[in-house]
Amino acid sequence: MIPFSILDLAPVAEGSDPSQTFRNTLELAQLGDALGYTRYWLAEHHNMPGIASAATAVLIGHVAGGTSRIRVGAGGIMLPNHSPLQVAEQFGTLASLYPGRIDLGLGRAPGTDQATMRALRRYGLSADNFPDDVAELLHYFDPVRPGQLVQAVPGSGVDVAVWLLGSSLFGARLAAMLGLPYAFASHFAPDALDTALDVYRREFQPSKYLQKPHAMLAINVVVADSDAEARRLFTSQQQAFVNLRRGMPGLLPPPIDDINRYGASHERLGMEHALACAVVGDSDTVERGIADFIERHRPDELMLTANVFDHAARLRSFELAAAVRGRLAAQPVG
């Protein structure tokens, strides 16, 4: 059975605050560590009241320090917001503190709005320089060469697993050209999923990082004791998505009984389309849904995400999902 991992958007729920979010994040990571999840990734966002992972490298250190086995990383660092040297130093430091456990996923989007981009002191052309910035960053992780004027300390010669993230053909082609593992953001941008996977696998060039293509797909998974309860829990994420598209990002709202009464019909259609890669229900429903998703797309790994308002219900969802993985693994191949 393919590995399952966790993508945590560090949600700040209504009535809560970032301090509580960080306690919840560590508790979820420790549960994932105990349940055999492979990775625990955090995503960089800025100026988003409902997402507390802006200082992503700092939070990765918090999680890695409180766990023992699970790989911890960024899904991802939005490289246009940073200099490659600073990213290499930060993740070189993390990998020196937690050897063999740090992942660095790199994204091309800013993860924020135009005004916040200006506040970050990085400007629009940075995204156009993304391929060069990735190459520069990879260079800083190589052993230092004679005469090299600038090196990452720590970073040079340190083992950091670098991934490229994407939701379009651009990232797929770049990951294939560089011979890097590729993670697709199908949990909120599924449109190019099949085409991007085909391009990545077909154009992949073996490298010192990877000998064959390796693709991880993100998927929304919410599991509860009944289909109805799982669908209700999922309404928090659905509401948050509609609010974001309205230009009104806020704290993660509590669930509601009927999502079909939330917003206008065109808003719900947009939400359903963007969150189409979702498996929501009881354990049996989710088992069938994940099996179908794997059969269709043939990922090498799955990264599960669930923005659930109630922390205990969120922990329970990932616990049940781990049990689903165990049952899928026990099924005979073919």
Q: Please give the pLDDT value at position 112.
A: 62
Per the CB < 8 A criterion, the answer to whether 230 and 223 are in contact is: yes
- Residue 98 in tokens: 């937690």
Q: Please give the pLDDT value at position 333.
A: 58
From CA 275, how far away is CA 190, in angstroms rounded? 8
From CA 253, how far away is CA 76, in angstroms rounded? 24
Record the pTM: 0.95
- For residue 13, which of 27, 25, 31 has the smallest C-alpha distance? 25
Angle, in degrees to the nearest 10, between helices 193-203 and 169-178: 20
Helical segments of the chain, H only:
18-35, 56-65, 84-97, 114-119, 130-141, 169-178, 193-203, 227-245, 265-274, 283-297, 311-330
Residue 138: Cβ within 10 Å count: 19
Q: Please give the pLDDT value at position 161.
A: 98
Domain at 4-221+277-330: CATH code:
3.20.20.30
Q: Please give the pLDDT value at position 121.
A: 61
Full pLDDT tens readout for the chain, 334 residues: 899 999 999 999 999 999 999 999 999 999 999 999 999 999 999 999 999 999 999 999 999 999 999 999 999 999 988 999 999 999 999 999 999 999 999 999 865 667 776 777 655 556 678 999 999 999 999 999 999 999 999 999 999 999 999 999 999 999 999 999 999 999 999 999 999 999 999 999 999 999 999 999 999 999 999 999 999 999 999 999 999 999 999 999 999 999 999 999 999 999 999 999 999 999 999 999 999 999 999 999 999 999 999 999 999 999 999 999 999 999 875 5
**Residues 6 or more apart in contact with residue 308 via CB below 8 angstroms:** 222, 233, 234, 236, 237, 314, 317
Q: What's at 304, amino acid-wise?
A: L
Cα–Cα separations (whole angstroms), residue 210 to 178, 326, 328: 9, 27, 27
Three-class SS state of 296? helix
Q: Please give the pLDDT value at position 181.
A: 98
Q: What DSSP string describes 147-165?
A: T-S---TTTTT---EEEEE
How is the chain split into domains, by residue range? 4-221+277-330
Q: Please give the pLDDT value at position 328.
A: 95
Backbone torsion region of residue 158, taken as left when φ is above 0, otherwise alpha when ψ lies between -120 and 50, otherwise beta: beta
* Positive/negative CA dihedral, 61, 115, 184, 246: positive
Q: What DSSP string describes 228-266?
A: HHHHHHHHHHHHHHHHHHTT---SBPPP-S-GGGSS-HH
